């Protein structure tokens, strides 16, 4: 084989390796999926699901034991009774033992798409949205399919389970309400754009609140499916996150950083503020005193229910796209394009631990 | 800069076609054809240059000259350049159009990847590059379903529990057909023939493997691109179907489009002053009377 042919073959192999490397490993770009329990923080990102000590951030275990470039995971797990349930981008959904993440109880392999959303538990079932346009209800004991709902679009939002009903945000411009026992669709609420975040359900009023990329916030009655009100204004931008309820006010953010408070009963606007930058992650409740708004550029501001203006601000060195989590007096901030995957603060804004996987 | 000039316009064009035809799969195929049409002049120029170079390299006199100076690369190159200059052949004539097309192909690839956003983060990034005249809220996200495929996932046709990678097989087959029918005529012992054969063996498997691994949307693009390329070459009369269909009459081999006046005798006479070697001699002038193939 002469030099030119050899050179050509090497080039072809290199080009192939580079191109397939881009696609064969991690095939989607996303944000860390985080779940916080009483003792642990679970963080799914790229090749591993990490179990961290909640107090110190120390890594306790991970799944799989040896990370693989062909495996990727972004969906936050759900944890119950010592077991961890989560899906990956290899189309597998796992039940793992909390004490030892490497120990798999069962794996559900029937899906033809990725798991990107946090699943939800409903009694003996785990409800799992999948990008193959299906929602699977899997028996948590044996990992078998109990029912499957076949939709029209990839499901990427966490389902909300309420009294035997499952509320699912859909990218096909609808919110679906399913029967939790059979998976049959009870009704659907039409929206003006894709719905990417789960709705907020208020047990007191029996209403659900949900925003969409169609620049609207909608309230509907869960029992009947009737729309109570729709809030939309000329200058409202797309809504990417779940709203919150604080002091009988429904508070949400739009992509342009607008913070809007509505009367949850009527949809009437109460006040407005602006976070001063792009907001994708939305607002997060801090107890019953206030809320946090995380901007894409890493700026997190605390707004007390009294002042309604930024009482304190911290900046994480990265971009925030997924909802931050508040548990007790700890704030957990998943980030991308940073040295760490998660930063923590206390509710006064004082930094705590951060975690980046060991290389 | 790259995004603004290449990826953003391509992405918006792809979205616009998707809105018009209301099907992302068909939009990818049309988008590929539109880009192929736009780059057709470059492809034609590239092919013309390649043909001229091939003709030149197949010319026995040219080969004789190369053989003569095989131990003197500098001299061979000097003589080569003179011939190129005399015959009006640009040695970069086939490289330049390829180089210009390269960013277009990369941009095409990236725009398809962008439009197939499958996570909220990817959707945020896509929303940012959509031009205001396209109503982003109504069109995003794009419905990835096309025939049996989910264009955002690697394609498999599921028969029971067996997933058949139909697109990957088609990409492999069309790449092979493309390489085979467009393979230039070469001599068996030719170095370029060896390279060409190696490429013909390697490329289909590499493309097939990528189609197997990549999302179906990209595999569909590979397939459409292969078919469009064969179509382009067929339109220029440069496809030899006899290489895959034995019952088809072989493509008539083009006679050299350039006539080399290089002559050993001339060379010997003019050895002390090689610069003059390419000057047409009386004998060479006579040779020029031979019928010439249209370039």
Size (chain B), residues: 295
Torsion of CA B256, B258, B261, B262, to 10 degrees: -80
pLDDT over threshold 70, residue B14? yes
Flag if B140 and A213 touch (Cβ within 8 Å): yes
- pLDDT value at residue B189: 52
- pLDDT at position A163 over 60: yes
Convert the pLDDT of each residue in A46-60 to its tens digit.
Answer: 899 999 999 999 999
- pLDDT, greater one: B68 or A187: A187
Task: Check CB contact under 8 Å for A238 and B127.
Answer: yes
B127 and chain A: CB distance < 8 Å anywhere? yes
Residue B165 has pLDDT above 80, yes or no: yes
The per-residue pLDDT for range A188-197, each reduced to its tens digit, is: 999 999 999 9
Mean pLDDT of A174-200: 96
Residues of A in contact with B202 (CB under 8 A): 9, 12
Contact status of B166 with chain A (Cβ, < 8 Å): no
- The answer on pLDDT for B115 being more than 50 is yes
Please say if the pLDDT value at position B86 is more than 50.
Answer: yes
Distance CA B221, CA B104 (A): 13
Choice among A144-153, A160-169, B220-229 with the minimum mean pLDDT = B220-229
Residue B152 sits at the chain A interface (C-beta within 8 Å): yes
CB contact (8 A) between residue A8 and residue B199: yes
Tell me whether A3 touches chain B (CB under 8 Å).
Answer: no
What pLDDT digit, counting tens, does each position of A140-152 carry?
999 999 999 999 8
Q: Calculate what percentage of chain A has a pLDDT beyond 70.
A: 92
User: pLDDT tier at A12 (50, 70, 90 boundaries)?
Assistant: low
| pLDDT recorded at residue A358 | 81
List, as ranges, residues 143-162 from A with C-beta within 8 Å of B: 152-154, 156
Predicted confidence at residue A267, as pLDDT, reads 97
Residue A11 has pLDDT above 80, yes or no: no
Q: What is the rounded average pLDDT for all residues in chain B?
A: 76
The answer on pLDDT for A21 being more than 50 is no
* Residue A213 with chain B: CB contacts under 8 Å: 127, 136-137, 140
A111 close contact with B: CB closer than 8 A: no
Q: Which residues of B touch A156 (CB under 8 A)?
A: 118-120
- Mean pLDDT taken over chain A: 91
Under an 8 A CB cutoff, do B118 and A156 touch?
A: yes
Residue A25 has pLDDT above 60, yes or no: no
Sole residue written with tokens 């990835």? B144
pLDDT at B194 over 90: no
Residue B281 pLDDT > 50: no
pLDDT of residue B284: 44
On the question of pLDDT at A229 being above 90, the answer is yes
**Closest by alpha carbon to B120, among A30, A193, A333?**
A30
Reported as a pLDDT band with limits 50, 70 and 90, residue B37 is confident
Tokens at A216, concatenated? 């609207």
Residue A330's pLDDT band (cuts 50, 70, 90): very high
All residues of chain B having their beta carbon less than 8 Å from the beta carbon of residue A74 are 119
Q: Chain A residues with CB inside 8 Å of B148's CB?
A: none
Q: How far is A60 from chain B (nearest CA, A)?
A: 28
Q: Which residue has the higher pLDDT, B294 or B46?
A: B46
Is B235 strand, coil or helix? helix
Are residues B254 and B55 in contact, defined by beta-carbon separation less than 8 angstroms? yes
pLDDT tens digits, residue range A315-326? 999 999 999 999
For residue A183, pLDDT over 70 is answered with yes
Of chain B, the percentage scoring pLDDT greater than 70 comes to 76
Query: Are A194 and B194 within 8 A, CB to CB?
Result: no
Query: In the structure, what pLDDT confidence band is assigned to residue A41 with cuts at 50, 70 and 90?
Result: very high
Better-scored residue on pLDDT, B147 or B259:
B147
Quote the pLDDT of residue B277.
Answer: 42
Q: Which of these ranges, A138-152, B106-120, B158-172, has the smallest mean pLDDT?
A: B106-120
Give pLDDT tens digits for B256-267: 555 555 554 444
**A8 in B contact zone (CB under 8 Å):** yes
* Structural domains in chain A, sorted by start: 275-359 (2.40.128.630)
Which residue in B106, B116, B124 has the most chain A C-beta atoms within 10 A of its own C-beta, making it the best mutation to test that interface? B124
Measured distance CA(A58)–CA(A51) in Å, rounded? 9
B280, pLDDT greater than 50:
no
CB pairs under 8 A between A and B: 108
**pLDDT: which is higher, B238 or B23:** B23
Mean pLDDT, rounded, for B1-20 = 90
pLDDT tens, A255-313?
A: 999 999 999 999 999 999 999 999 999 999 998 889 999 999 999 999 998 777 778 99
pLDDT on residue A190: 96
- Per-residue model confidence (pLDDT) at position B195: 66
């Amino acid at each position: 084989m002469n030099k030119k042919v050899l050179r050509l073959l090497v080039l072809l192999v290199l080009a192939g390796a580079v191109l397939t490397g881009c696609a064969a490993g991690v095939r989607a770009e996303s944000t860390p999926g985080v779940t916080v329990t009483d003792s642990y923080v679970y963080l799914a990102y790229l090749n591993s699901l990490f179990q961290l000590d909640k107090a110190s951030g120390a890594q306790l275990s991970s799944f799989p034991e040896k990370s693989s470039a062909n495996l990727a995971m972004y969906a936050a797990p759900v944890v119950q009774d010592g077991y961890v349930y989560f899906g990956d981008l290899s189309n597998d959904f796992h039940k793992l033992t909390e004490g030892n993440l490497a120990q798999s109880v069962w794996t559900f392999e029937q899906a033809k798409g990725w798991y990107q959303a946090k699943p939800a538990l409903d009694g003996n079932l785990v409800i799992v949205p999948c990008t193959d346009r299906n929602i699977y209800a899997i028996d948590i004991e044996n990992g078998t399919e109990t029912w499957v709902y076949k939709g029209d679009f990839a499901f990427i939002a966490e389902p909300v389970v309420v009294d035997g009903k499952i509320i699912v945000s859909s990218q096909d411009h609808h919110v679906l309400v399913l029967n939790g026992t059979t998976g049959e669709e009870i009704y659907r609420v039409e929206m003006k754009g894709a719905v990417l975040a789960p709705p907020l359900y208020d047990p007191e009023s029996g209403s659900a609140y949900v925003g969409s990329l169609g620049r609207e916030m909608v309230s509907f009655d869960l029992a009947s499916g009737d729309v109570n009100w729709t809030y939309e204004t000329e200058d409202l931008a797309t809504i990417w996150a779940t709203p919150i309820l604080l002091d009988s006010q429904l508070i949400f953010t739009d992509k342009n950083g607008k913070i809007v408070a509505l009367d949850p009963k009527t949809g009437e606007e109460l006040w407005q503020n602006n976070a001063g930058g792009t907001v994708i992650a939305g607002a997060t409740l801090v107890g019953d005193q206030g809320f946090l708004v995380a901007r894409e550029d890493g700026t997190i501001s605390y707004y007390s229910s009294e002042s309604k203006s930024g009482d304190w601000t911290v900046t994480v060195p990265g971009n925030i796209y997924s909802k931050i989590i508040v548990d007790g007096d700890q704030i957990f901030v998943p980030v991308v394009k940073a040295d760490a995957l998660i930063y923590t603060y206390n509710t006064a804004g004082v930094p705590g631990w951060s975690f980046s996987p060991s290389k | 800069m790259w995004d603004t000039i290449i990826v953003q316009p391509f992405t918006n064009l792809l979205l616009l076609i998707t809105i018009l035809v209301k099907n992302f799969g068909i939009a990818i195929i049309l988008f590929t054809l539109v880009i192929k049409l736009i780059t057709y002049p470059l492809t034609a120029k590239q092919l013309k240059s390649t043909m001229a170079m091939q003709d030149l390299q197949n010319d026995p006199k040219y080969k004789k000259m190369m053989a003569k100076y095989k131990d003197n690369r500098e001299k061979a190159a000097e003589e080569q350049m003179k011939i190129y200059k005399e015959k009006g052949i640009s040695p970069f004539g086939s490289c330049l159009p390829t180089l210009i097309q390269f960013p277009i192909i990369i941009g095409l690839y990236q725009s398809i990847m962008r439009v197939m956003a499958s996570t909220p983060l990817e959707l945020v990034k896509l929303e940012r590059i959509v031009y205001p005249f396209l109503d982003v809220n109504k069109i995003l996200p794009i419905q990835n379903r096309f025939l049996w495929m989910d264009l955002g996932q690697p394609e498999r046709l599921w028969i029971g529990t067996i997933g058949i990678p139909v697109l990957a097989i088609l990409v492999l087959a069309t790449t092979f057909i493309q390489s085979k029918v467009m393979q230039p005529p070469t001599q068996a012992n030719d170095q370029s023939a060896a390279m060409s054969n190696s490429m013909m063996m390697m490329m289909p498997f590499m493309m097939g493997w990528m189609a197997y691994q990549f999302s179906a949307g990209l595999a569909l693009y590979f397939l459409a691109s292969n078919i469009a390329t064969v179509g382009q070459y067929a339109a220029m009369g440069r496809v030899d179907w006899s290489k895959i269909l034995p019952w088809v009459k072989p493509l008539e081999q083009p006679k050299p489009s350039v006539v080399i006046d290089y002559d050993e005798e001339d060379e010997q006479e003019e050895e002390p002053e090689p610069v003059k070697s390419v000057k047409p001699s009386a004998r060479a002038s006579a040779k020029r009377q031979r019928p010439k193939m249209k370039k």
